[in-house]
Amino acid sequence: MQANLLNAVDAAEAIRDGSLTSTELVEACLARIEQVDGNIEAWAHLDPAYALQQAGVADEYRQMGGPLGPLHGVPVAIKDIIDTADMPTENGTVLYSGRCPSTDATLVSLLREAGAVILGKAVTTEMAVFSPGKTRNPHNPEHTPGGSSSGSAAAVAAGMVPLSVGTQTNGSMIRPASFCGVFGFKPSHGRISRTGVLAQSPMLETPGVYGRSLEDLALIAEVLMAYDAADPVMKPQARPHILSVMAEEPPVDPHLAFVRSPVWDEADVVSKDAFRELIDHLNENGEHVDIVDLPTAFDEAHETLRVVMEADLAKNFAKEYRDGKDKLSTVLCDMIERGQQVLATDYNAAVERAADLNAMLDMICEEYDAIVTPSAIGEAPKGLESTGSPTFCTIWTLCGTPALNLPVMQGENGLPIGAQLVSQKGDDARLFRTARWMLKKLEE
């Protein structure tokens, strides 16, 4: 197999045992980028010489016999709203053109500590909201890759890099994973540090990861899920042992809830049919999946997230709006202006509603090991003027639950359709174990 197509777990092991060097792996990734990125445009910043310099340092360190981190020599792409001290971070807007931070984001420091090579910065939508960047879908460049973590998902899908980091404030991790056909993980809110990440909506925003397998996601997630006292939503707790928990067999077969959610009517016909087939397959040898309707209180979830998100954008993007409104997209200006009109009482009520929804969700998760639900309304839409609807991610982002995209289906146009697996907030490791079980069932 070509080195650039190796899973991150296999690549890390090959570098560790000396059958592959980091330089060879990075060279293969750069060759792939040279070959395909002209049609995809996943990168906001890429310096091949510097990437190879990092790889060379990693190889020299290994030859010296020093202790190796879990990602030693493995290249990773970083969404361009995450600060890197040695590369520009431009937030997908001309307002930050040429911006060069003086320090790394905490999650970038953790990646370096684990031995990763920071390959480059991946394209984001404008300020990680809705206005698309230049990236195209690797499966069909006439279709969107999703957003806002468009470059991060597309780079992994196209074989340019084995791992990447993105963020989600509504559907910005899971939707691109579905559209691009890769594994994606949005952890529980507050499990990966946001220090040095563009602030949008503190109650919602969550860094996440992309990879070629569940094991890849677990490998990088364990590195990143370390306590950071500088992030006020994080708590001092041990990192979850995702890899080891995922490798265990569940004590009993998991019981899943298929949740259509209040926006089921927005799913396209092909996607609905695909999920019916998926449920039938999982139920072939036992009743493993029940169809479960959420309480009617969840009908307000999308409006609740909108109120919180837009009010927070108005606050956190106030300087950009004041000094550079003419350089911002109409869609972002409209969101900021609506957010400026949100009353404090309405904002506080929305925050309280989110807490109530979480309590209801906890009751469902007491009966079921995980929730199965669409990752997106269907295949990636044709056209590059939009990144597609995040509507099937909204509830889970609002509640701060962990979510995985499993690329297990295909639409009538040959584009991927993902299944989203969700569990109780804080139950990240068991979610991976349930996902592994589900993938094995689908292979039978």
User: Could you list the active site residues?
Assistant: 79, 148, 172
- Contact indicator for 113, 203 with CB cutoff of 8 Å: no
Radius of gyration, CA atoms only, the chain: 21
- Contact indicator for 342, 310 with CB cutoff of 8 Å: yes
Question: In whole angstroms, what is the distance from residue 115 CA to residue 109 CA?
Answer: 10
> Alpha carbon of 131 to those of 126, 149, 254, 339, 387: distances in Å?
5, 12, 39, 17, 8
The SS3 call for residue 169 is coil
- Burial pattern 43-71, b for ≥16 Cβ within 10 A else e, equals bbbbebebbbebbeebbebbeeeeebbbb
Partners of residue 420 on adjacent β-strands: 373, 405
Q: How many residues does the chain have?
A: 444
Question: In whole angstroms, what is the distance from residue 99 CA to residue 19 CA?
Answer: 39
Degrees, nearest 5: CA angle 140-144-147: 140
Residue 407's closest CA among 381, 370, 375, 443? 375
| Residue 144, phi then psi, degrees to nearest 5 | -70, 150
Report the 3 state secondary structure along 86-145. Answer: CCCCCCCCHHHCCCCCCCCCHHHHHHHHCCCEEEEEECCCHHHCCCCCCCCECCECCECC
- Contact indicator for 44, 248 with CB cutoff of 8 Å: no
Residue 137's closest CA among 348, 307, 349, 382? 382
Residue 134's closest CA among 122, 118, 120? 122
HSE (side-chain half, CA atoms, 13 Å) at 341: 6
DSSP 279-334: HHHHTTTS--EEEEPPPGGGGGHHHHHHHHHHHHHHHHTHHHHHHHGGGS-HHHHH
